Amino acid sequence: MQPFSFQNPTRLHFGAGQLERLRDEVPHGAHVLLVYGGGSIKRSGLYDQVHAHLQALGAVVTELAGVEPNPRLSTVRRGVTLAQGSVTHILAVGGGSVIDAAKAIAVSARSAHDAWDLILNPSLITGALPLGVVLTHAATGSEMNPISVITNEGTLDKRGWASAHAYPTFSILDPAFTLTAPRDQTAYGLIDMMSHVLEDYLDTTTNTPVQDAWAEGLLRVLIDTGPKLVADLGNLELRETAMLAGTWAFNGALAMGKDGDWASHRIEHALSALHDVPHAAGLSVVMPAWMEYAAQERPEKLARLAERVLGVHRMERSDALVAREGITRLRSFWRSLGAPTRLHELNIPDTDIPKLAELSVLRGEPFGNLRPLGRADVEAILRLAH
């Protein structure tokens, strides 16, 4: 383990009826910037419920609607303009994209710097408007972490950033609000969670039995829950399990004392910046190929994953062979949820590979811990993924 500091200040309110907690969390007479995406919260009735609560609190409400998947810098800037007046609180109602945009708005509204300058250099961030979340999609963990991903559509730079000021103050997680998520989106959420766990798990750090046991437990729960949930989207208990798993897959607990290896995310960000594919669809393509190429640096850890999580029996084989079967099983599992696992299934031609590799190293190379990756390595990974 490596020395670390850990603190997560977000208040979680989880379960049926927790939307009521808005009454404790939002002060009377607040001016709330309500941030949301498309019309799904209007169709589900959640939009009306939130408005009723805010009205009862005597809140003034300004709206930023239409936050897109892979949220864009221009949307963030639009929100900052709305927030810089008399807005006192931001309430994000949606999934990871809505929350990520709201985080960027929250920190920018309290800064003289432009949003993109803060994203490029989070040490400039000195404060934020208080941010609350009502989560409608179990996936990114953004509801209980300080991380956000914003795409600069001008430069095709999709960039993750983090700041201690970007933790939501509170997050309301009622699994009933996720019941309307369609099959694909639900499956992608599960894959996103699994990738977060795996990117902390497959790293260079040794002596991490507590973190490893939890990561393996969470992965086993997701592998058990996933197929049942995509076959039974209205099952509230399975939704509940997925929602709790998604939050704890990426709230810092599994990363304690570990360096992690987020190279797959970096490569995926290039894919979804250039082609606007769903984040998890990109991950399910990139990550197994990254495991074949880079995570083989720790074959014993990959073999442990294969045996403890993916049901591989060792049968006196080497770590490398057990690991290889594990990767094959992971691809099969993600395919069984309906996700692509090959680049061509995303309709990305192999002629795009050099451009994708170039985008991946936009912020310099090498990157990644298990095996530091340069542009040529990314090309090799994407060819393995094709």
Strands (E), 31-88: 31-36, 60-64
Please, what is the angle between helix 183-201 and helix 209-230, to 10°? 170
- The secondary structure of 24-81 as a DSSP string is HHS-TT-EEEEEE-SSHHHHHSHHHHHHHHHHHTT-EEEEE--PPSS-BHHHHHHHHH
Cα distance between residue 181 and residue 44, in whole Å: 10
Name the strand (E) or helix (H) holding 92: strand 89-94
**Chain centroid offset of residue 312 CA:** 28
Residue 252 in contact with residue 226, Cβ under 8 Å? no
Nearer to its own copies, 144 or 285 (CB): 144
Residue 160 in contact with residue 269, Cβ under 8 Å? yes
Which residues are near its own copies by CB under 8 A? 1-18, 21, 207, 209-210, 213-214, 216-218, 220-221, 224-225, 237, 240-241, 244-245, 248, 253, 256-257
Nearer to its own copies, 6 or 112 (CB): 6
Closest contact distance (angstroms) between CB of 351 and its own copies is 43
Cα distance between residue 37 and residue 1, in whole Å: 40
Nearer to its own copies, 221 or 384 (CB): 221
Nearer to its own copies, 308 or 375 (CB): 308
Closest contact distance (angstroms) between CB of 168 and its own copies is 11
Nearer to its own copies, 80 or 218 (CB): 218
- The DSSP code for 152 is E
Closest contact distance (angstroms) between CB of 223 and its own copies is 11
Closest contact distance (angstroms) between CB of 240 and its own copies is 6
Closest contact distance (angstroms) between CB of 142 and its own copies is 17
Residue 291 in contact with residue 344, Cβ under 8 Å? no
Cα distance between residue 23 and residue 33, in whole Å: 16
Closest contact distance (angstroms) between CB of 135 and its own copies is 14
Nearer to its own copies, 105 or 198 (CB): 198
